[in-house]
Structure 1
């Protein structure tokens, strides 16, 4: 039984080497629960953590996210009333004249699947 040494990813070079190793392991098509599969799992986890710290994708603006969902699903303002409130409230929010209440955030998260982080994050908190 061989022992594989996996080290933390601290630099861009470490990151590139880890990506190369992932490609190599995927090419070997390791059996589930094998040593190579375990190595792939550990390296993938390290790569993910490194990417979150160095290449994080910022959360979208909540109004932009809702407008995107509306466009993709062919929804009108009226379709949001059940989550946000009366027509006037939907309009105020979509025109950025009013921010979401906690209940509205909960409704949009629960029923539309919008992540809570788009409503509460560093970018949004600086604007409000």
Structure 2
């Protein structure tokens, strides 16, 4: 198996192209093993060169509201009175630990996003 590290963007694009050709490889076969190794290399390269940041807390809340059709009233049990919900959504009031825990538990918003204020 002749595999090299991904050092440049050209290496990255070439490896992605090779991965596309191997997508139908049987697991455990030589081609399947090659696919596993190449995917691991690409993941490492992407983590270093194209890191994904968690969305900020307000964007995460708004996204979940849109996804689930939630209203401000639905957030009241997790955040507090209606005016407090509006303050949080307008970025005038930060989330407390209690709010973060409740939003995570009730609406399954990742805590990493909720901590990103």
TM bucket (normalised to shorter chain) is: 0.7 to 0.9
Distance in 2 separating the partners of 1:52 and 1:77: 36
**Aligned twin of 1:112:** 107
CA-to-aligned-CA distance 1:46-99 (integer Å, 9 cap, x gap) = 112211221233332221221232233222111012222232321221121111
May I ask how many residue pairs the two structures share in their alignment?
Answer: 117
TM-score by length of 1: 0.77
Residues 64-83 of structure 1 mapped to structure 2, 5 A cutoff:
64-83=59-78
Runs of 4+ displaced beyond 3 Å: none
Aligned residues of 2:12 and 2:42 also touching (Cα < 8 A): yes
Give ranges in structure 1 of 5+ residues lacking alignment.
Answer: none
RMSD of aligned residue pairs (Cα, Å): 1.9
Give ranges in structure 2 of 5+ residues lacking alignment.
Answer: none
**Aligned twin of 2:10:** 13
Distance in 2 separating the partners of 1:56 and 1:91: 31
TM-score by length of 2: 0.83
Structure number with higher relative contact order (C-alpha < 8 Å, ≥ 6 residues apart):
2
Aligned residues of 2:60 and 2:114 also touching (Cα < 8 A): no
